Amino acid sequence: MPGGSVNLTCVAVGAPMPYVKWMMGAEELTKEDEMPVGRNVLELSNVVRSANYTCVAISSLGMIEATAQVTVKALPKPPIDLVVTETTATSVTLTWDSGNSEPVSYYGIQYRAAGAEGPFQEVDGVATTRYSIGGLSPFSEYAFRVLAVNSIGRGAPSEAVRARTGEQAPSSPPRRVQARMLSASTMLVQWEPPEEPNGLVRGYRVYYTPDSRRPLSAWHKHNTDAGLLTTVGSLLPGITYSLRVLAFTAVGDGPPSPTIQVKTQQGVPAQPADFQAEAESDTRIQLSWLLPPQERIVKYELVYWAAEDEGQQHKVTFDPTSSYTLEDLKPDTLYHFQLAARSEMGVGVSTPTIEARTAQSTPSAPPQKVTCVSTGSTTVRVSWVPPPAASRNGVITQYSVAYEAVDGEDRGRHVVESIGREHSSWDLVGLEKWTEYRVWVRAHTDVGPGPESSPVLVRTDEDVPSGPPRKVEVEPLNSTAVHVSWKLPVPSKQHGQIRGYQVTYVRLENGEPRGPPIIQDVMLAEAQWRPEESEDYETTISGLTPETTYSVTVAAYTTKGDGARSKPKIVATTGAGE
């Protein structure tokens, strides 16, 4: 880069060792009395141009030299002679000269609308000095500039040049077309220019007909200059005419405006112009139109209906104004509207039907037919159908399922969010065993959630008890029998209805079991399936051997099987004569 620094090192070896100096052309860069032996470093700073530097080694044997080239590389200069050589309605062709003696990697073209303050759009990687930029707006002025790029980076852009694209036919119709009767046979037509004229509007064409079913080419045509109003005469009295207006440039005609209608009855108001509808909320739609001048309107008559129920039309009459808000509409519902003005002479022509949809709301009804089925000791399947169509108030986007234990250790409320709209069931997992739950379901739109369904009660399936019976006690009764007593497992570890207990005992010799364990089944009567927590249970093991040691354990069981066993209790029977 210009202004940079570099060190050049020259090393020479020989016998005797040579002196070393630097030269640039004929200029000595090392003083004769300062020449070092064997090695010389030339420090260059603020280098602004390329040059060759010569290292010279001198001894009694002679002189040798070597040359080092220092090249200064810079950012490219701006291209020159930027010219617009061709324009169309949507493109501009540019040519330019490089303006650089060193190679250029490629060019970038920057452009934006003339007078705009925003950033330039850019076309990068242009390999030639001629390029066409497309996608421009018709009849619009742009500023263009070009920059060069080399291995160092991007250079400064050239001076900008301006060019205007060519004309096209208008791409939009005249706006806010209005018509009213000046007499029984003459009407006044007014409009505003099109939003996208794409050139200089040379004039307008007014098409009108008593039969709007005919093609536009068969309508009557009235040409006018670039003004924004005209009169059309020789109309038949007592007829409703359809009317459309288009603009044209030197290139051609633009699209015609939407059809409006006017009744050739003097004193009857014109059709309301620029009739528009816009939803303000899920229950409100605002209607607006142009309030015509010099019209003796006494009332407006609005007819509207829901698209899903065309047979139920509503009519509203109100004083002259340029807007009206309908309230208490149904959310997410498409409505149709027609508006007409009334004077003392009668009702004018109604507008063409326009439509607007109220915004979505939250559902006003919950999902229907919610059912819950236990699918395991820790899982429940929840099923539902969507809310009724009339209560959805929008597109159902997701569901959520809430649940909480009626009993059990965890009484907190849990919610599963973001269940996709395609689902009609969901599996709740990780629940407590043999626990009753309340379950709710709600539907959501983009606006939010609707009401919850009524709670549904469901109990998870039984499982084997995970806890042993408590407070197991074993006492000898005599030489051949022992008494065993216990209490229920803790409630949270019963996991079902305790149907009975298995009392297991085995003979011990020197602390080790001898022989097979024997199981004594203590079945509970149905009345005992829901006992009090403090209730005691007992049994007697008989037929034992006198003066013998036994290990006794107790386990509760449900319909799913045996649960955890208590810690062994050691007991010894008494002697035969005791």
DSSP secondary structure letters along 32-54: GGGPPBSEEEEEEEEE-S-EEEE
Q: Strand pairing of 260-263 and 240-248?
A: antiparallel
* pLDDT in the model for residue 429: 96
- pLDDT digit string, tens, across residues 267-323: 888 889 889 999 999 999 999 998 877 678 999 999 999 998 888 999 999 999 999
One-letter amino acid identity for 112?
R
Does residue 492 belong to any structural domain of this protein?
Answer: yes
User: In which domain, by residue range, is 186 found?
Assistant: 174-264
**The total number of structural domains that make up the chain:** 6
Residues 499-527, mean pLDDT to the nearest whole number: 91
Q: Are residues 480 and 569 in the same domain?
A: yes
Residues 478 and 568 in one domain: yes
Q: What is the pLDDT of residue 527?
A: 60
CA torsion sign, 55 to 61 to 62 to 64?
negative
pLDDT tens, residue by residue, 547-573: 999 999 999 999 999 999 999 999 999
Please check whether residue 439 is in contact with residue 454, taking contact to mean a CB–CB distance below 8 angstroms. Answer: no
Rounded mean pLDDT of the chain? Answer: 93
pLDDT band at 47 (very low <50, low <70, confident <90, very high): confident
Strand order in the sheet with 470-476: 470-476, 482-487, 536-541
One-letter identity of residue 307: A
**Residue 468 falls inside a structural domain:** no
Q: Residue 134 — very low, low, confident or very high, per pLDDT cuts 50/70/90?
A: very high
Residues 259 and 187 in one domain: yes
Taking residues 516-536, what's their average pLDDT?
79
Q: Domain boundary residue among 239, 264, 289?
A: 264
Does 478 lie in the same domain as 450?
no
- Tell me: do 482 and 567 sit in the same domain: yes
Has residue 478 been placed in a domain?
Answer: yes
Of 426, 459, 492, the last residue of a domain is 459
pLDDT of residue 60: 87
Phi-psi region of 107 (alpha: psi -120 to 50; beta: other; left: phi over 0): beta
Q: What is the mean pLDDT of residues 171-176?
A: 96
Q: Are residues 61 and 88 in the same domain?
A: no
For 10, 12, 69, 466, the CA distances from 39, given in Å and listed in that order, are 6, 6, 18, 89
E strand or H helix at 208: strand 203-209
Could you tell me if 98 and 129 are in contact, meaning their C-beta atoms sit under 8 angstroms apart? yes
Task: Confirm whether 59 is domain-assigned.
Answer: yes
Instruction: Look at residue 577 in the predicted model and tell me its pLDDT.
Output: 59
468: its two tokens: 């042993």
CA distance 186 to 266: 9
Is residue 222 domain-shared with residue 314, that is, in the same domain? Answer: no
| 54 falls within a domain | yes
Give the Cα separation of 523 and 348 in Å (integer): 92
Domain membership of residue 578 (yes or no) is no
pLDDT band at 146 (very low <50, low <70, confident <90, very high): very high
Task: Tell me the pLDDT tens digit for each residue of 315-364.
Answer: 999 999 999 999 999 999 999 999 999 999 889 899 999 999 999 999 99
Q: Is 323 exposed, middle or buried (0-12, 13-18, 19+ CB in 10 A)?
A: exposed
CA distances from 118 to 90, 148, 161 (A): 20, 22, 17
d(C-alpha 433, C-alpha 465), whole Å = 10
Read out DSSP for 540-575? Answer: EE-SPPTT-EEEEEEEEEETTEEEEEPPPEEEE---
Specify if 249 maps to a domain. Answer: yes
Q: Is there a single domain that holds both residue 337 and residue 390?
A: no
Give the rounded percent of residues in the chain with a pLDDT score beyond 70.
98
The pair of three-digit structure tokens given for residue 421, joined into one six-digit string: 């709209």
DSSP 428-455: E-SPPTT-EEEEEEEEE-SS-B-PPPPP
CA-to-CA dists, residue 88 to 4, 83, 238, 503, 544, angstroms: 47, 15, 49, 101, 114
Question: Do residue 479 and residue 567 come from a single domain?
Answer: yes
Distance CA 457, CA 437 (A): 6
Whether residue 86 sits in one domain with residue 151: yes
428 & 479 share domain: no
264 close to 181: Cβ distance less than 8 angstroms: yes
Range with lowest mean pLDDT among 14-28, 86-100, 377-391: 14-28
* Domain co-membership, 222 together with 289: no
Residue with tokens 């229920």: 488
pLDDT at 1 over 80: no
The model's pLDDT over 410-467, given as tens digits with 9 standing for 90+, comes to 889 999 999 999 999 999 999 999 999 999 999 999 999 999 999 999 999 999 999 9
* CATH code of residue 377: 2.60.40.10
ω before 16 within 30° of 0 (cis)?
yes
Angstrom distance (rounded) from CA 77 to CA 148: 7
Rounded Cα gap, residues 332 and 315, in angstroms: 21
- Of the residues 437, 459, 481, the one at which a domain ends: 459
In a domain, 365, yes or no: no
